[in-house]
Structure 1
Amino acid sequence: MNGVTIDAPAPEAAPQPQPTPPARRYLWPVLVGAWALLLLVLAIWSARNDPPSLRDQTTAASAKATIDQVVGQVTAGVPAGWTIQDKGYAEKACSLSAARDGVAVTRTLTVSGPVGGESATVEALAATLPDAVTRPADGPKEGFYHDAGNYVAVRGKVIGEGAVSVDLSSGCRVP
């Protein structure tokens, strides 16, 4: 070989990364921390201020308070000549979940009076409860349904001659 040398171009130096300014380095952790704090504050506020969205988030005591209020309304609507018998509270154990037991509360009122006045009594009792739905829609009334709020159901029905039953039930709740 003749001694010819070819000079290769010199390799370019790779650009060195510029150091991140200190203010930008801490921006993401600060933003994540602020977001976590905001979520924590909103969760605490929601737990204290929002109403329950499920029946099993309420207690049997709160259901009894609602039932007592409705019993007062129904008692006020009993027609003259009719008597009311309050059987009190009946509590039954139930299961809220596989790991948690609850209690279902029921209170039954029996209204007794003259034979033939059952339909009028059902209408009178339903009239004391706002938005109560009577059945059947046409003709003599045989019963009614009312949502009392706080997940309490009120059902009234003719149970015999001269007798109407009103059942107030809470469903399964925390004891």
Structure 2
Amino acid sequence: MSGAVQTGWAPSSDPATPAPARRGRRWLLVATVLWAVLLAGLAWMSVRDDPPTVREQRSVDEAAPVVDRAVGELARAAGAAGLLELGPVRVDAGCRVTPFADGAALRREVGVLAPAGTERSVLTGIADRLPATWRAGVGPGLDGPELRADAGDFVAVEGRPTGDGRLRLTVDTGCRPLGAGYHPKPATGAGPEATALTAALSALDRPTDAAPELVTAPCPDGALARTARSAAGSGPAAPDALAPLAGGTPLLDNPPVYAYRAGDVTVLAELGPDPARVAATVGCPG
């Protein structure tokens, strides 16, 4: 008997090809987990050990000691005879750190004597006496010479003339998270600045019983620069009333601003039509 012979491939008798190996998938999963753990560990070490790389990584309360020390450095650099006052502390809230997060900026000021024509030389002298790490320098600004420096931790220092025989030096954190806020140690005890302030208020026939506002800053040598400030009330007040306390040689007589030295204290009076303001300051040694 004959029959047709079928041509073509003979059916395979081998078992079916196995599914993709699970071993490769397992190793891929293990490698992914190890990589994630490594990245998490590196991130934690960076947060713990590395310095901040942007201002938003430091809150106001973390930057506050830097600001206070910077004010002390400026007070020392200005010299005891050149320092007029430590300005009041300002914390300005309401700025935006990011589109979704509120922030605040801490700002402190230092007033320095600079008679007309000496502004650049006074600023240059201050810049030369600041820490080298601040990279302080003086250059042209919109309204005269300007000092610029970096106190560290993204805290900026600037200085410029005010046009009335003074310079205003500012220390500013810029907008950043508020954190715990700014809570300076309360200044206690009455020093020579309080005595000089009382004498000035008495000479101006102003009340002396109200407690003055006390502002301090740590000097580099551990001492404290101190300003006692008081609103002297409204009504006319003539600088001539302070002339006897100045001994006839005021540091600054540019109405409505008047300043003089009383021993180790500098007294600054602003006697304009607004309520008069008097401040007495003891600077940093050296």
TM-score, structure 2 length as denominator? 0.53
Identical pairs, percent: 29
**Could you say which structure has the larger radius of gyration?**
1
63-72 vs 114-123, greater mean Cα deviation: 114-123
| Cα distance, 1:34 vs structure 2 | 1.5
| Cα distance, 1:128 vs structure 2 | 2.1
How large is the Cα RMSD of the aligned pairs? 2.8
**Would the alpha carbon gap of residues 33 and 72 (structure 1) be closer, same or farther in structure 2, given more than 3 Å must change?**
same
Q: Deviations over 1:148-167 (max 9, x none)?
A: 22111111111124211101
Write the distance in 2 (CA, Å) between the matches of 1:109 and 1:80.
Answer: 13
Residue pairs, 1:77-156, within 5 angstroms: 77-79=77-79, 81-93=81-93, 94-112=95-113, 114-129=115-130, 130=132, 131-136=135-140, 142-156=145-159
**Would the alpha carbon gap of residues 120 and 17 (structure 1) be closer, same or farther in structure 2, given more than 3 Å must change?**
same
Kept after mapping to 2: 8 A contact 1:153/1:169: yes
Partner of 1:162: 165
SS in structure 1 at match of 2:51: coil
SS in structure 1 at match of 2:40: helix
Write the distance in 2 (CA, Å) between the matches of 1:81 and 1:74.
Answer: 13
- Name structure 2 gaps, 5 residues minimum: 179-286
SS in structure 1 at match of 2:88: strand
SS in structure 1 at match of 2:148: strand
Write the distance in 2 (CA, Å) between the matches of 1:25 and 1:82.
Answer: 75
Kept after mapping to 1: 8 A contact 2:75/2:83: no
SS in structure 2 at match of 1:16: coil
Corresponding letter in the other structure for 1:50 = D
Report 1 or 2 for greater relative contact order, CA contacts < 8 Å, sequence distance ≥ 6: 1
75-84 vs 123-132, greater mean Cα deviation: 75-84
Q: Deviations over 1:28-75 (max 9, x none)?
A: 222222112112211211121122121111110222211112112111
TM-score, structure 1 length as denominator? 0.82
Partner of 1:46: 46
Write the distance in 2 (CA, Å) between the matches of 1:172 and 1:41.
Answer: 30
